Amino acid sequence: MGAHGPAKGLSRWLFTTNHKDIGSMYLWFSFAMFLLGGSFAMIIRAELFQPGLQIVEPEFFNQMTTMHGLVMVFGAIMPAFVGLANWMIPLMIGAPDMALPRMNNWSFWILPPAFALLASTLFMEGGGPNFGWTFYAPLSTTYAPPSVTYFIFGVHIMGLSSIMGAINIIATIVNMRAPGMTYMKMPLFVWTWLITAFLLVAVMPVLAGAVTMMLMDIHFGTSFFSAAGGGDPVLFQHVFWFFGHPEVYIIILPGFGVVSQIIPTFSRKPLFGYDSMVYATASIAFLSFIVWAHHMYTVGMPIAGELFFMYATMLIAVPTAAKVFNWITTMFKGSLTFETPMLFSIAFVFLFTVGGFSGLMLAIAPADFQYHDTYFVVAHFHYTMVAGAIFSMSAAVYYWLPKWTGKMYNETMGKTHFWVSFVGFNLTFFPQHFVGLAGMPRRIPDYNLMFADFNMMSSIGAFIYGASQLLFLFNVVRTITHGEKIDDPKVWDGAHGLEWTVPTPAPYHTFTTPPEVKESEAHG
């Protein structure tokens, strides 16, 4: 705001300190990255549609697997949830804005250059990063293309953005809650993000350390990861996964928060076991720091190490199962309706549980020796990341879009998007369990004839799932431009068991829907 009123046009977005504007920019940016990362996945699946080398060179195939993972994790999923946090946390805790609005603006605006830098490596001499999204040394140091330096710089900038966003979220939640909103009255979405933010502040510097050591090895003659100079390539794996395992919980915890808001709403009853949900989230966050080496059973660690990481990893199943039981119990004997956000949330609970069970299989050290680096692992983490993070994200957008825009999305189109993506997702990733158990390795452009049928199914499913996201995009844009206006947002909020505007002293999680709010009023 200047002497001439509010900023207009481009400057409104460039200089904004409004948490809603910044949240919207994060969401649009993450969706653009989702389409970019998805297009990389389409190239991968097109190549794997049948055995033999058809479409791309093996080298480019490796670049695609690397870029797909990096763009999806750091460009699509994380900024999407940060966007939700920016939009919803101030509203949920009764704060006027985020605690550090200028830093909020900066933490967003350094992301587009970071990903432009990362994407530009594909056009450099020697091509983009070709060493997998986990960029294990010495493949990423001694044998990497020259573009690896730009990749390292890009990772630093993304990490900076994440740390600033996390500090902002912590400062906002700790200092800016409305009077009467104690910690144990906060909505679960706020709780999951508070815990996630602490995880981010703790582990992003570890990633920065890993890529800095890589930079030193490449350009400054050090040997952190080179056995020839007294270093150890396995050190890289330890450092990377000490970041990487908490990272996967950073990706999923906000999703837990989202479904913990949506399931009670469409069950017309309060969330079952609010306190246990908070403690379970905190337990998961703590345990995520002591399980990192389950990604590296095969490096030859002592049997005591394998046993420790095996038991610690299996222990994570306990708080996670507590959450699943609480969601199911919330739905039990509720007055359920199956609008789009609820469909995505129920699918989330079901499919994330499948991913949890395959994770439990991978936790068993002797079994993991067989599964390691096969498509079984790929199936496992896509059931947690896609069915977990992306499905909960889709649920969140459908759930809050009417709040953000004051307009109602097309419910039929939303349900179509759900069913098409549900079928496409399962067709893509369920067969990968089978080819993985049969021994098909990850990150290869060609394979044995025996894997052909399942790979064809997988590729067809991937294109179905990809196409469904275009329907989603159309529905969102159509809502913003031509959506049916919700005359009284209060009516809509009330029907969804939510009252954002004034945080009441009554415990947030005991709010129940007044019986006089009819379903017909809910959608205008």
Catalytic residue ranges: 68, 97, 133, 161-162, 245, 247, 249, 260, 294-295, 320, 323, 442
Return the SS3 of 3. Answer: coil
Query: Which residue reads 């928060």 in tokens?
Result: 257
What's the CA gap between 114 and 75, in Å, rounded? 9
Helices (H), 364-488: 365-371, 375-384, 391-405, 411-437, 452-482
DSSP 164-193: HHHHHHHHHHHH-PPTT--GGGS-HHHHHH
Please calculate the CA angle 370-373-376 and round it to the nearest 5 degrees: 70
What's the CA gap between 362 and 425, in Å, rounded? 21
Backbone angles phi, psi at 127, to 5 degrees: 80, 180
What's the CA gap between 119 and 74, in Å, rounded? 13
Kind of pairing between the strands at 407-408 and 484-485: antiparallel
Q: Which amino acid is at 504?
A: T
What's the CA gap between 295 and 292, in Å, rounded? 6
Q: Taking a C-beta distance cutoff of 8 angstroms, is the pair 497, 511 a contact?
A: yes
Count the neighbouring beta carbons within 10 Å of the beta carbon of residue 275.
9
